[in-house]
Amino acid sequence: MDIREFEFDENEELDGIKAISFVTYPAIEKDFIYLSSQNFLKSKGIDKPETDTQKLLTKDGNWKFWRMATRGGQSPTIDTSHGFCKNHAVPPNNIYHIDEIRRWNQNLSNDEKKGWIEESNFTRDFKGKGESNFNMDQQLYNCRHFLTPVRDIREVPPQKEYLLSNRLKEVIKVNLSITNKEQRIVKGAAMIPNILIYRIDEYGKPFYIYFKKETIKKLKEKYGFNRNITIQHLDDITGNAILLNSWIYPEVNDDCGIKNMKDGTWCVEYKILNDKLWDVIKKQNVKGFSVEIIVSG
């Protein structure tokens, strides 16, 4: 996928940030990849995101997720099915990570063990490379099911999506931090450097964009203190909040209440003047900040 560094002409009057927006889903909190300085040397300094297929494979090329399936349209379980099958074979809860499968022998309940032939040792030596390199019937011996790899990332259960990537994900929660309830003051991160943010251009083509530390600092300085504020990038709520402070971490030793904050992050602090906006923030209907950027030409 195309990866673009954001650049702008700081001398162009219209270029820069149009508004800071209170939003429910900050782009910098989504499924991003943080660009470490070590990886910055690769491909214009960027370690490209994994493809969907790469996410489904372990580092040694094995399939990560497997489905307990039956042949020829058979029902997942029947009256005489083992307790194990009744607990593990019914869709959509019949997809398992390779590590879960390898632990099955260790975690069987007494009920699930009933009917198993002890010496069959189902799933013993499970390698997870594909159907051709092991005997599936013996992997789930004395059972009417077999294991088949999941090759479509859309089939991975949402609660297991965190197991997809081999990459060490940077998890940053950028929720607004209420620093003074009585005075209605909140702070949070507006921009974080070197994060790949998913976008779609005017031609419908998806791409990633990232901002260097130097660019964020220039944007912050040009934005100043007297610019527009919006909510959900839709409604102009300028005048409903005052920008009290704007700083780059760690030039100012305040991480805006965010754990593991990255150097070069732009933090902002607002005093909320409007009762309705304050109520929205307290109920966490908006959770962070996002920026609206204009680039001429």
Query: Do the beta carbons of residue 245 and residue 269 sit within 8 Å?
Result: yes
82 and 105 assigned to the same domain: yes
Q: Which two tokens stand for residue 225?
A: 């203190």
41 and 133 assigned to the same domain: no
84 and 144 assigned to the same domain: yes
Q: What are phi and psi for residue 52, nearest 5 degrees? A: -60, -40
d(CA 220, CA 267): 9
**252-265 pLDDT, tens digit each:** 999 988 877 889 99
268 and 185 assigned to the same domain: yes
pLDDT recorded at residue 42? 41
From residue 123, alpha-carbon distances to 67, 102, 177 in Å are: 13, 7, 48
User: Which one, of 155, 138, 136, 160, lies nearest residue 147 by Cα?
Assistant: 136
d(CA 267, CA 74): 57
132 and 273 assigned to the same domain: no
User: Among residues 134, 163, 192, which one ends one of the domains?
Assistant: 163
151 and 181 assigned to the same domain: no
Residue 225 has pLDDT above 60, yes or no: yes
17 and 133 assigned to the same domain: no
- pLDDT band of residue 78 (cuts 50, 70, 90) is confident
Residue 284 has pLDDT above 70, yes or no: yes
45 and 172 assigned to the same domain: yes
> If you average pLDDT over each of 113-117, 190-194, 202-206, which comes out highest?
190-194
Which amino acid would we find at residue 168? L
User: Which one, of 270, 273, 264, lies nearest residue 289 by Cα?
Assistant: 270
Q: DSSP secondary-structure letter at 34?
A: B
d(CA 190, CA 249): 11
Number of domains present in the structure of the chain: 2
Domain ranges, residue 211: 2-49+168-294
Residue 128 has pLDDT above 80, yes or no: no
190 and 121 assigned to the same domain: no
pLDDT recorded at residue 95? 94
32-36, 73-77, 167-171: lowest mean pLDDT where?
A: 32-36
64-68, 136-140, 200-204, 254-258: lowest mean pLDDT where?
A: 136-140
Across the chain, mean pLDDT equals: 78
Residue 275 has pLDDT above 80, yes or no: yes
Residue 175: which residues within 8 A CB-CB, separation 6 or more? 188, 284, 287, 288
The answer to whether the Cα torsion of 213, 217, 222, 228 is positive or negative is: positive
95 and 225 assigned to the same domain: no
66 and 18 assigned to the same domain: no
- pLDDT band of residue 164 (cuts 50, 70, 90) is confident
224 and 208 assigned to the same domain: yes
By the 10 Å C-beta count (0-12 exposed, 13-18 middle, 19+ buried), 73 is classed as: exposed
User: Among residues 130, 163, 196, which one ends one of the domains?
Assistant: 163
Q: Which residues pair with residue 66 across a beta bridge? A: 96, 149
User: Among residues 146, 163, 180, which one ends one of the domains?
Assistant: 163
